[in-house]
Amino acid sequence: MSKNILEASLEGAEHIVLLGHIHPDGDCIGTTLGLLNYLRENYPQIEAELFLDHPAAKFSYMNDFEKIHTEIVPEKQFDLCITLDASDKERLGSYAVYFDNAAKTLCIDHHRTNTGFAEQNYIIPDASSCSEVLYTLLDEAKISREAAECLYTGIVHDTGVFKYNSTTRKTMEIAGALMEKGVNAAKIIDDSFYRKTYAQNQILGKALLSSTRILDGRCIFSVVSQKEMEFYGVDTNDLDGIIDQLRITEGVECAIFIYEKAFNEYKVSLRSNDYVDVSKVAAYFGGGGHIHAAGCTMQGHPRDVINNLTGHIEKQMDARREE
């Protein structure tokens, strides 16, 4: 049997680094930890290390979470760098130094905006998640319960618990196969997707109360400042879920959530329900993502950030009305 692109890349490698994107979400953390567990269980001759940008503590139930490195050691050299769920090299953040210095590079991803930045690229844009893509490259019989929990987490988070349009029959079949490994699906969904701390509920409430509808109610936005995060005692990991609560507002096609990273610098999350392609909006401002879920980072006063975003969103809405 011929080797797939992952198996071929692993040949001869002794020291591997795994990287995900900055501000790692559930799919990024799940797919990287899933591969880390799989490699340690099935390739004992390989030393694998994982570097991520301060993953949220709510994902700490996943095996080997405590082995994630966050601090850079620039002098480290690797035979192979595998990037997962990152659409371009810039999304690797400061960890890109490991990508640049690796003898070989492999990118595994599902973003249709992926630039094919590695020497070898395995990109499936129709897949629900990077975790789904990775599953197709693994030997199913060798996937442990621990690795399965990681991959299931990734699929759950990038499909919005199987709600998004990216969810397919194949997605559900893979999720079912992972559950057969002993994954406690209900606990994973509750603990990592729905359960919130009191402070997280407070900042969610603040974001919803201060939200504003525009474009005849078809678009909604909310802004959270650094001062507000300090007041409620939360960090950026505590803002998960705000954008999705905005998105499900009745009558809304597109939702915008921005939070302040530094003075006049904002992280932007975009979601749509039907016809607005938010990946095009994000790409225009140097970001990327999927048709219904995308993001970017923008500079300026929050009012100007929102105005610039809504200008592009309105163009798509107007074009739709003219059809």
Q: Indicate if the pLDDT at residue 323 is higher than 70.
A: no
Q: How far apart are CA 314 and CA 254, in angstroms?
A: 10
Mind listing the pLDDT tens digit for each residue in 103-132?
A: 999 999 999 889 999 999 999 999 999 999
**pTM, entire model:** 0.89
Q: Indicate if the pLDDT at residue 10 is higher than 50.
A: yes
CA 126 from chain centre, in angstroms, equals: 15
At residue 112, the pLDDT reads 87
Confidence of residue 2 (pLDDT cuts 50, 70, 90): low
Which comes out higher in pLDDT, residue 287 or 248? 248
Q: Indicate if the pLDDT at residue 1 is higher than 50.
A: no
Taking residues 265-277, what's their average pLDDT? 96
Mind listing the pLDDT tens digit for each residue in 156-179?
A: 999 999 988 899 999 999 999 999
Strands 104-109 and 120-123: parallel
DSSP state of 239: G
Taking residues 244-250, what's their average pLDDT? 96
Task: Give the rounded percent of residues in the chain with a pLDDT score beyond 90.
Answer: 91
216 close to 203: Cβ distance less than 8 angstroms: no
Hey, which residues does 15 pair with through a beta bridge?
47
At residue 165, the pLDDT reads 86
Q: How far apart are CA 32 and CA 69, in angstroms?
A: 12
Ordered structural domains, the chain, with CATH:
5-194 (3.90.1640.10), 198-322 (3.10.310.30)
